[in-house]
């Protein structure tokens, strides 16, 4: 894979949206409150200060001391609107205004008089030395009258009109794209943060080089793929890899889910698709990532019930838009799904999604690399070997491995440790794969029955194993839905399974039932999970793998749901005679391996008893202890187990987890690996 170097001198981004000033939240609320207070104070002052309307002659008399009221001070303002010698006199009085037609209200001390002022009256007012003359200030008077109305109009605007305008914008933006823009300065992820998918990184590295130097490809006549479809199981890092492409290329990254296009109203999704591509063109070069594209790209008109108008119109718009732009514009589409079989064929043709990149579950080397990436933020002890953890977690995705380390860190914190030790990771793995320990109160008879059951699985697996899938741990402590489990960890990634290994799995699954019958002489329902697992393997050998006398013929039927498939009806693939032969072949495989396992346990009866007694005594033993019993007849190495919580018969355990109710099965459910029995 070509090395992608982080060059410090990056070309500047073009057409990035400028940062807009964001006003403080609820600023219009505070402004409205201030306006309301100002208006209320103005009207309160006007209402409380009642002004008495007097005649000019009465004011002159009061100024000369005639009457019980005296003038404290006053102002004479010529009123231009009243013509020549027309004035307005305002001021304040001392004393009570006598009752009369000139008195307007209350005992106010403020007065106002308007009228024609003669020269004689003006001389009398000037002699009192309590009046002053001022020129009219029309703009101040007008402003004092207009300000309250301006404040009131502004209040109405901010409280009502602005809200209605914003509501209108929300309605108009209903068809806008909901894609989130992540720039290079925010949540930057590079290829160094992605591990376990080297082949996928090598393919998407071409996109990075194209976004950095488009002419390198165009001058050779080549065209970069318009769309890249990432396919793989959940948790394998498809979204993370898409973000890493944008981080390495340092271009804007638009992220949206396929479900964001589909709405109740027909045409909204198509509008959002057009708006998304328009935003992409404005911010080119950029990446547009559509997660879970099967939500909008599902095959049209398939399955029971026909199609969906809104989803199909959205898909049609997406197909047209992908045909309507060229990669020279610098816009590249990356989509992710874990169901490529349900996508419309028009979406997968060349010219739209030209390339499919499979992001599969990591192998043992990839798992170790993923663990090292996630272990950067965790304080690990020196005894933690990530290589051993990677070997013991086949079938786990990157998300599962991250969860494994996180559970180990939480478990170490609950145990008041300063570092995460290997035993914490081992216990976290059992918790993630099989569930948390549930210390149930079992009487001696049930405890012995579970011990014999698990000992039967362990003995057969230890005898049949050729060193590739050794027994890892045997326990009679309930986990998840099982009352006990036998786990085995392969020493390498198993990609193919020969017929001999499949038969060994069927034989090992029968070990618990064989041990129960041999020791107690009776049968229980504890082996129902083992029987289902063995039957599934045997039927697959006959119908799918061609490992029977029926020959290499695919006899299995299509089991896809009619809501997702292409055909609504089901056709009979095999005749009744062939179906009978299939049942006979499956029965022959199971009965044959049952007899094989019965022979092994009968020969190793002494070892079976010792393994069961060790389980009754210690509750959990390791695979090496089973091998020591088979070779030496006893356990040589010490058995080290975590102390169990104190239990009192009839009372629940402390910190009992809220797991699913236990079933009547002894064996654990089948997991990718390590596999319980």
611-617: long-range pairs with CB below 8 Å, 24+? 611/455, 611/458, 611/459, 611/474, 612/448, 612/451, 612/452, 612/455, 612/519, 613/451, 614/639, 615/451, 615/454, 615/455, 615/474, 615/475, 615/476, 616/447, 616/448, 616/451, 616/476
- Rounded to whole angstroms, the Cα distance separating 410 from 416 reads 10
Q: Which two three-digit tokens encode residue 153?
A: 């109009």
- Residue pair 486/570 in contact by the 8 Å Cβ criterion: no
- Active-site position among 454, 516, 622, 628: 454
b/e 165-182 (16+ beta carbons within 10 angstroms → b):
eeeeeeeeeebbbebeeb
- Rounded to whole angstroms, the Cα distance separating 578 from 582 reads 6
Q: Specify the residue for token string 């069927």.
A: 506
Cis peptide before 294 (omega within 30 of 0): no
Residue 272, Cβ neighbours under 10 Å: how many?
24
What is the SS3 assignment for 420?
strand
What is the SS3 assignment for 495?
coil
- Residue pair 492/364 in contact by the 8 Å Cβ criterion: yes
What is the SS3 assignment for 485?
strand
Nearest residue to 310 via CA among 265, 349, 348: 265
- Rounded to whole angstroms, the Cα distance separating 31 from 40 reads 14
Residue 375, Cβ neighbours under 10 Å: how many?
19
Q: Which two three-digit tokens encode residue 164?
A: 């209605």
Residue 188 host element (H or E): none
454 is catalytic: yes
Q: Which two three-digit tokens encode residue 522?
A: 């009776």
Active site residues: 454
């Amino acid at each position: 894979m070509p090395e992608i170097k982080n060059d410090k001198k990056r070309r500047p981004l073009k057409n990035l949206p400028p940062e807009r000033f964001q006003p403080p939240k609820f600023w219009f609320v505070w402004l409205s409150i201030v306006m309301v207070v100002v208006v209320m104070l103005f009207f309160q002052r006007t209402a409380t200060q009642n002004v008495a309307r007097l005649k000019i002659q009465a004011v002159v008399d009061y100024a000369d001391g005639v009457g019980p009221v005296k003038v404290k001070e006053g102002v004479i303002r010529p009123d231009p609107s009243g013509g020549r010698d027309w004035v307005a006199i305002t001021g304040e009085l001392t004393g009570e205004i006598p009752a009369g037609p000139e008195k307007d209200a209350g005992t106010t001390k403020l007065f106002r008089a308007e009228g024609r002022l003669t020269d004689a009256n003006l001389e009398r007012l000037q002699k009192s030395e309590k009046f002053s003359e001022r020129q009219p200030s029309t703009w101040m008077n007008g402003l004092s009258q207009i300000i309250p109305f301006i404040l009131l109009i502004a209040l109405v605007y901010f409280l009502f009109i602005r809200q209605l305008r914003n509501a209108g914008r929300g309605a108009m933006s209903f068809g806008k794209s909901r894609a989130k823009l992540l720039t290079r300065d925010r949540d930057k992820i590079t290829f160094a943060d992605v591990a376990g998918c080297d082949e996928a990184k090598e393919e998407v590295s071409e996109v990075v080089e194209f976004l950095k130097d488009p002419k390198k490809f165009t001058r050779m006549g080549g065209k970069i793929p318009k769309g890249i479809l990432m396919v793989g199981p959940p948790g394998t890092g498809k979204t993370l890899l898409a973000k890493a492409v944008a981080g390495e290329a340092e271009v804007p990254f638009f992220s949206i889910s396929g479900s964001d296009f589909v709405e109740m109203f027909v045409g909204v999704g198509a509008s959002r698709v057009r708006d998304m591509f328009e935003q992409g063109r404005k911010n080119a070069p950029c990446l547009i990532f559509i997660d879970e594209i099967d939500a909008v790209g599902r095959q049209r008109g398939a399955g029971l019930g026909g199609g969906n108008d809104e989803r199909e119109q959205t898909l049609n718009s997406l197909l047209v838009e992908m045909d309507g732009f060229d990669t020279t514009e610098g816009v590249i589409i990356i989509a992710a799904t874990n169901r490529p079989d349900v996508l419309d064929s028009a979406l997968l043709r060349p010219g739209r999604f030209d390339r499919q990149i499979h992001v599969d579950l990591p192998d043992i080397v990839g798992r170790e690399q993923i663990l090292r990436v996630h272990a950067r933020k965790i304080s690990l002890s020196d005894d933690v070997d990530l290589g051993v953890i990677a070997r013991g977690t086949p079938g786990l995705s990157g998300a599962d491995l991250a969860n494994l380390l996180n559970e180990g860190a939480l478990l170490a914190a609950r145990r008041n440790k300063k570092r995460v030790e290997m035993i914490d990771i081992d216990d976290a793995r059992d918790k993630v794969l099989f569930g948390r320990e549930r210390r149930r109160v079992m009487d001696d008879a049930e405890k012995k029955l579970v011990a014999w059951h698990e000992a039967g699985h362990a003995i057969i697996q230890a005898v049949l194993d050729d060193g590739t899938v050794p027994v890892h741990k045997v326990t009679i402590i309930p986990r998840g839905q099982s009352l006990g489990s036998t786990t085995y960890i392969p020493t390498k990634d198993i990609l193919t399974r020969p017929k001999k290994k499949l038969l060994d799995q069927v034989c090992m699954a029968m070990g618990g039932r064989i041990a129960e019958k041999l020791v107690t002489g009776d049968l229980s329902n504890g082996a129902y999970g083992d029987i289902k697992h063995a039957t599934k393997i045997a039927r697959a050998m006959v119908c799918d793998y061609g490992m029977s006398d029926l020959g290499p013929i695919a006899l299995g039927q299509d089991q896809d749901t009619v809501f997702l498939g292409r055909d609504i009806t089901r056709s009979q693939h095999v005749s009744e005679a062939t179906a009978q032969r299939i049942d006979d072949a499956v029965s022959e495989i199971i009965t044959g391996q049952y007899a094989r396992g019965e022979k092994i346990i009968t020969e190793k009866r002494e070892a079976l008893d010792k393994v069961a007694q060790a389980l009754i005594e210690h509750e959990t033993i390791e695979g090496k202890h089973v091998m020591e019993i088979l070779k030496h007849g006893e356990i040589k190495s010490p058995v080290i187990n975590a102390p169990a919580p104190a239990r009192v018969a009839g009372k629940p355990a402390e910190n009992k987890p809220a797991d699913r109710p236990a079933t009547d099965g002894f064996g654990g459910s089948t997991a990718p690996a390590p596999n319980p029995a």
